[in-house]
């Protein structure tokens, strides 16, 4: 057996040893956060920057790299802080087990540490806004979900705010159309009358679709090239 095989065997023995499991979950969490951040941000930044930003090819490539690095860093660091906090809270629990609101407290610590202090960073803002939107949708579903209905044991199920089953089904059926309609109504109104407060990348894309489409002076910039 050569040295590489010996090293692989030794490393595998370490990573499969239960006494190292907790610390290795932090390493794997950082790794997965960074990989996912790169997968999500790189294609998005590549398209948005090359379509809507001005500058040389080199400067655009550098902007794509910076955005991708920031997204990967944020998710990797959040995974480290969150999972570390969860381990600390579990080990300091009187029962030695996870408590019901440990995940909330760990998320609070991670959210402030990684995202709460980066108020002027557009990548951090986009991640937080994305998470906030998903939380709103999840809470809306939870509000009408019957009590004691849920996939996680001990989760408590839904809030059961609507007791009548017929009314509950009607609310579920119509909630998304109302939410989508009001969301688009609000963003179009804000873009029309207060564009300076719209997030820059969203403002650029909306400017391209809804404003620049009003202007052309030839067939070339009507179809092939946007003025």
Structural domain total, the chain:
2
Average confidence (pLDDT) over 107-117: 95
Confidence of residue 152 (pLDDT cuts 50, 70, 90): confident
- pLDDT per position as a tens digit, 192-206: 999 999 888 789 888
- pLDDT per position as a tens digit, 28-45: 999 999 999 999 999 999
Out of 79, 96, 117, a domain closes at 117
Residue 123 CB partners (closer than 8 Å, separation 6+): 41, 67, 70, 71, 74
Range(s) of the domain holding residue 208: 199-227
- pLDDT per position as a tens digit, 54-96: 899 999 999 999 999 999 999 999 999 999 999 999 999 999 9
| Selection from 54-58, 149-153, 161-165, 218-222 with the highest mean pLDDT | 54-58
Among residues 193, 189, 186, 145, the alpha carbon closest in space to that of 169 is found at: 145
pLDDT of residue 193: 94
Q: Are 207 and 52 in contact (CB under 8 A)?
A: no
* Burial class of residue 180 (count of CB atoms within 10 Å of its CB; 0-12, 13-18, 19+): exposed
pLDDT of residue 111: 96
174 in a domain, yes or no?
no
Q: In the predicted model, is pLDDT for residue 1 greater than 60?
A: no
Q: In the predicted model, is pLDDT for residue 138 greater than 70?
A: yes
Out of 95, 117, 139, a domain closes at 117
Out of 101, 117, 133, a domain closes at 117
SS3 203: helix
């Amino acid at each position: 057996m050569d040295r590489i095989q010996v090293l692989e065997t030794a490393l595998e023995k370490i990573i499969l040893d239960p006494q190292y499991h907790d610390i290795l979950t932090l390493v794997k969490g950082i790794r997965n956060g960074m990989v996912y951040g790169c997968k999500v941000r790189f294609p998005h930044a590549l398209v948005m920057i090359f379509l809507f930003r001005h500058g040389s090819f080199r400067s655009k490539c550098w902007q794509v790299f910076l955005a991708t690095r920031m997204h990967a860093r944020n998710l990797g660091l959040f995974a480290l802080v969150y999972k570390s906090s969860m381990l600390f809270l579990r080990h300091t629990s009187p029962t030695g087990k996870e408590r019901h609101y440990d995940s909330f407290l760990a998320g609070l610590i991670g959210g402030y540490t990684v995202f709460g202090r980066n108020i002027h960073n557009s990548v951090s803002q986009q991640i937080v806004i994305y998470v906030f939107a998903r939380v709103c949708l999840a809470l809306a579903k939870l509000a009408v979900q019957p009590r004691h209905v849920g996939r996680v044991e001990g989760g408590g199920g839904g809030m059961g705010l609507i007791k009548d089953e017929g009314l509950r089904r009607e609310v579920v059926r119509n909630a998304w159309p109302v939410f989508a309609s009001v969301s688009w109504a609000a963003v179009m109104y804000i873009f029309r009358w207060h564009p300076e407060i719209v997030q820059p990348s969203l403002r650029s894309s909306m400017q391209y679709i809804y404003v620049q489409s009003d202007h052309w002076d030839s067939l070339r910039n009507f179809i092939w090239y946007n003025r």
